[in-house]
A and B are shown apart, each in its own frame.
Chain A
Amino acid sequence: MSEAREVEIKTRNLGVTFQDNEGNDVAALTGVNLEIMKGEFIALLGPSGCGKTTLLRSIADLQKPTEGDVHIQGMTPKEVRLQKKFGFVFQQPVLFDWRTVKKNVELPMEIMGYSKGERSDRADEMLEMVGLKDFAKHYPKQLSGGMQQRANIARAFGLDPDILLMDEPFSALDEFTKEKLHEDLLRIWRATNKTILFVTHNIQEGVFLSDRVCVLSPHPGRLSAIVDIDLQRPRSLEVKETAHFNELVAKVRGSFEGGSVS
């Protein structure tokens, strides 16, 4: 994985400090130096309060850093956002109840002025990719949680973004649905060659999906280790049974600072 690949995202001494209710400074994130390659699948892993979501939001321009900076393709996050190069998948599906599944996928394309035919074709393609072709005309409330999250992913891929930011997208789903979506996400990622940043608090999930696991530790939130995941690709669920997978899980678990993660 270390060939001469382009650096896609680079953070330099990135830090975010919030003020709590009493006006005291709370360091959500300090001194993060990270380089992410183009097409890489990165897991941001850590317990609550470690700043993993803050890191993701700083890259997405949803959060202004209070120190350091972020460069994406040599630009600021804001410039990249305005060029519509981000896709974002939240923990909740954030679908619009009044739109059909297909119309939900089309929404970002409507905002960006795609023609009607273009939108429709692209949405069909995306729904096919996530396995929701037969549910295009359904409304979100008619779908299960897993299917809603699939629609959410279809929407994020619809604009063909360079970078996909995912904030604990599967944490509200049951284990079976989650594993199915893991496999599907890896398949889609391989087919589209996006750079993916995937926030999770689940060690197995982070190891199974990613090329590298960035381990974050709390108080103050910081990047405490980066673990290379040298499992072969394409990966299937069987890889979780291998000794090497479990070694990697143990290695990640051992790299948390300030106590173990539950």
Chain B
Amino acid sequence: MKRKIKRIVEKPWFSSIIWILILIALWEVGAVVVSNTKRVPENILPHLHQILGAALSGKTVTADMTATQAVLSSAGLTLFRALLGFFLGAVIGFLFALLMKLSGVIEKMLFPYLMLIQLIPVLGLAPIVLAITGDINVSRVVIASILSFYPVATNTLAGFKSVEKEKYDLMFIYAAKPYYIYTKVLIPAALPYFFTGLKIAAPMAVTASILVDTLQGDGGLGCLLSQSLKHAMSIYVFWLIVFFSAFVGIIISKIIGWIEYGVSPWKRRA
């Protein structure tokens, strides 16, 4: 009996369930405390069942859509921009890492600026990007890619730098051309780091996309979110978006994890 319990406790899903339960409990405690406080607007911490109810309710929040329909119909546009920006950022991030690895001078010149770009708040960055690109949709994609590329670039560069001196010595003994050193040693060695960068970047691209939606109103989750926050529609739409984007972030990270697993057979057997 004891051993059976122990087996269940050691299952990976067990800890996930425990965590979800703890989170729900904490949330509900918070919601009770908040609802007992007077003069607090209803958008702060509603009960989970209220949010769930809003998600399932058939009541329309806009002219012709329920809350869930509204969220899902806006999500497409936002996620499309996020994904596009993410892919661009990943590719550029990888290329930048390669460039910085190829030349120490470039690394010294480039790296401080890359960090600087990260330090500018997205809302400050947005008007600058908009002024440069001249198109709000393009600039939304560009911002998602700017946020994605930094974790990809830094992690991939760390991957390149993780290669031990002996591996270079070995390649030297074999008089390997730089092309082979990159394709046979450095890039495969950096791959796990690259994927770590992707996993960090993906949720950032999604949240950034939602944020930059709010800059101009022409659809997208961010627009819906700000309307909800301004009480132009049910406040529960806001909460649905919060949960939806968290869910999307988790799913994307999972998918990246599966892709990594798929392209790294050596990680499956060890």
Chains A and B are bound partners? yes
Interface residues, chain A, CB within 8 Å of chain B? 60-62, 81-82, 84, 86-88, 90, 92, 94, 96-100, 107-108, 110-112, 138-139, 141-142, 159
Which of B83-91, B123-131, B164-172 lies at the binding interface? B164-172
A62 and B173 contact, CB distance less than 8 A: yes
Q: What secondary structure prevails in chain B residues at the interface with A?
A: helix
> Which of B169, B174, B188 is the most central at the interface, judged by chain A CB atoms within 10 Å of its CB?
B174
Are B173 and A92 closer than 8 Å at their CB atoms? no
Contact B167 A107, beta carbon cutoff 8 Å: no
Minimum C-beta distance from B227 to chain A (A): 49
Taking CB atoms, residues of chain B closer than 8 Å to A87 are 173
Given the interface pairs A92-B166, A98-B264, the reply to whether A111 lies near B174 with Cβ below 8 Å is: yes
B269 touches A139 (CB 8 A): yes
Contact across chains for B266 and A88 when beta carbons are under 8 A apart: no
Interface size class of B (residues with CB under 8 A): 20 to 34
Give bound CA distance, A96 to B188, whole Å.
9
| Shortest distance between the CB of A103 and any CB in chain B (Å) | 10
Q: How many inter-chain contacts with C-beta < 8 Å in the A-B complex?
A: 60
Interface residues of B in 187-223 (CB under 8 A from A): 188-189, 191
**Is the Cβ of A88 less than 8 Å from the Cβ of B270?**
no
B173 touches A111 (CB 8 A): no
Give bound CA distance, A188 to B269, whole Å: 30
Residues of A within 8 Å of B185, CB to CB, are 96
Q: Which chain B residues lie closer than 8 Å to A111 at the CB level?
A: 171, 174, 176-177, 180, 184
With both chains docked as a complex, state the minimum distance between the C-beta of A34 and any C-beta of chain B, in angstroms: 20
Among candidates B166, B169, B266, residue contacting A97 with C-beta atoms closer than 8 Å: B266
Partner of B173 from the list A86, A96, A99, A138 (CB cut-off 8 Å) is A86
Bound: A92/B164 CA distance, A:
11
Q: 6 closest A-B pairs (Cβ-Cβ)?
A: A139-B266, A94-B166, A141-B270, A88-B173, A111-B176, A98-B188
State the Cβ distance, A239 to closest chain B Cβ, in Å: 32
In chain B, what residue has the closest Cβ to A109? B174
Establish whether residues A94 and B164, one from each chain, have CB atoms under 8 Å apart when the complex forms: yes
**CB pair B170 A94 closer than 8 Å:** yes
The yes or no answer to B175 lying at the interface (CB within 8 A) is: yes
Partner pick for A142 among B166, B167, B170, B270, CB 8 A cutoff = B270
Is B191 a contact of A98 with CB atoms below 8 Å?
Answer: yes
- Bound form: Cα–Cα A84–B175 in Å: 7
Q: Chain A residues near B177: list those with CB within 8 A.
A: 111
Q: A87-B173, A88-B173, A94-B166 are known; give 14 further A-B pairs, CB within 8 A.
A: A81-B175, A82-B175, A84-B175, A86-B173, A90-B169, A90-B170, A94-B164, A96-B167, A99-B266, A108-B174, A111-B184, A112-B174, A142-B269, A142-B270
> Whose C-beta in chain B lies nearest to the C-beta of A140?
B266
Q: How far is the CB of A116 from chain B (nearest CB, A)?
A: 15
Would you give 20 A-B contacts (Cβ < 8 Å), ordered by A? A60-B173, A61-B172, A61-B173, A90-B166, A90-B169, A92-B166, A94-B167, A94-B170, A96-B167, A98-B264, A98-B266, A100-B266, A107-B184, A110-B180, A111-B171, A111-B174, A111-B176, A112-B174, A139-B265, A139-B269
What chain B residues lie within 8 Å of A90 (beta carbons)? 166, 169-170
**What is the bound-complex CA distance between A61 and B169, given in angstroms?**
10
Contact between B169 and A88, CB atoms less than 8 A apart? yes
Task: Give the chain B neighbours of A61 by CB distance below 8 A.
Answer: 172-173
- Residues from chain A with a CB closer than 8 A to the CB of B266 are 97-100, 139, 141
In the assembly, what is the distance between CA of A174 and CA of B185, in Å?
Answer: 29
**Residues of chain A with a CB closer than 8 A to B175's CB:** 81-82, 84
Cβ of B174: which chain A residues have Cβ within 8 Å of it? 84, 108, 111-112, 159
CA distance A82 to B173 in the complex (A): 8
Q: Which of A110, A138, A139, A142 contacts B184 (CB 8 A)?
A: A110
Question: What are the residues of chain B within 8 A of A108 when measuring CB–CB?
Answer: 174
- Docked Cα-Cα span, A250 to B140, in Å, equals 78
Taking CB atoms, residues of chain B closer than 8 Å to A112 are: 174
Chain A positions within 8 Å of B164 at CB level = 92, 94
A222 to B169, CA, bound (A): 24
